[in-house]
Amino acid sequence: MTENQQIGDEAVFINNYVRFQLLVSKYTAFKQLIYSQLEKPLSVYTPGLESICMKDAKFPLYKGRDEKKILYISGIALRLEKSQNQTAMEIAEAIAKDLLANCGDVFQVQIVPPGWIYLELFHSILGAWLQNIAVGSLGRQGKAIATEKPTMTNQKRLFTVQYAHARCCSLLQQAHREELIQLREVLPVQKINWERQNQPLSTSVAACWSIFFPNPIPWLNSDDKLRCYHPAEGRLLGELVQVVDDLNCDAVNSSVNWEKAALNLSQAFENFWSQCRIWGKVKMASRELAQARLGLVMVTQSVVRLLLEEKLGLVAPLEL
């Protein structure tokens, strides 16, 4: 590779990184991002249809269950077929062409008969999304509304979720002490306390942390693939994406069972923690992998804290 080619590749990488960061900052949930990208092609068929679909939750978009990938499936072409003089496959292909032209670096698009549109997110955008949450974006958005009283009555489930949060906090504090990562507090007023960056972490249950070193967290390897590719990591990532979708699309997901969502996420985290080590040989042989896994822990802690405090009306303990 020549020097000019290397400089060109680095420029592309920087441009893509900035673009992805802007996207995930604007659309915290992938469902929101996909909605936004589908608005333009949908307007070609029926003006105003895209806003109606989003407002009334009639947009046929579903998250796939494959733990090896983050996949969304849209049946919008099948729905449009009834009102258009085209087949669902023709409509799907036209929509896919527009999506590839505008977001071909965000997701891979595939058309599946009789007219399904499959959108598989690339690892690069997933890394940017994880980074956005790890640095405290969920703690600053303040979209969820706290409940007036606890809604989780099953004590066993309550313990499972609170234990998962406490375990996340313990791991993060240990990594902070060992200087594998560095944490900072995000103040309740939604501003970063720069003056206290290097001070001891608060032991308050209301503390909200973010990772500020390494920056960015080494989510991706040299091939732009997620370092965290173990099946348990894939399941945890899928649960995180689902919960953040539900949190940010609350207006159209009023029937979400938050207790079940919190339990599923907590169980996915416990499975991850039991199968994917951070310390010992992993820390010594691959510091970047250890940091990426700690990044997953940080994201999990942020999401579980929101579920406990703002959806279930419960305390998110630092320890049990």
Q: Which domains does the chain have, with CATH numbers?
A: 3-121 (3.30.1360), 142-311 (no CATH)
Stated as kind and residue range, the H or E segment containing 2 is none
Q: What percent of the chain has pLDDT over 70?
A: 78
Task: Please answer whether residues 109 and 101 qualify as being in contact, where contact means their C-beta atoms are separated by less than 8 angstroms.
Answer: no
Task: Look at residue 9 and tell me whether its pLDDT is greater than 90.
Answer: no
pTM equals 0.86
Higher pLDDT, 8 or 46: 46
Q: Which residue has the higher pLDDT, 52 or 279?
A: 279
pLDDT of residue 217: 96
Mean pLDDT for 181-193 is 63
pLDDT band of 119, cuts 50, 70, 90: very high
Contacts of residue 275, Cβ cutoff 8 Å, sequence gap at least 6 = 230, 232
Task: Tell me the average pLDDT across 225-246.
Answer: 96
Terminus-to-terminus CA distance in the chain, angstroms?
54
Q: With pLDDT > 90 as the criterion, what percentage of the chain qualifies? A: 56
- Which one, of 196, 252, 248, lies nearest residue 58 by Cα? 252
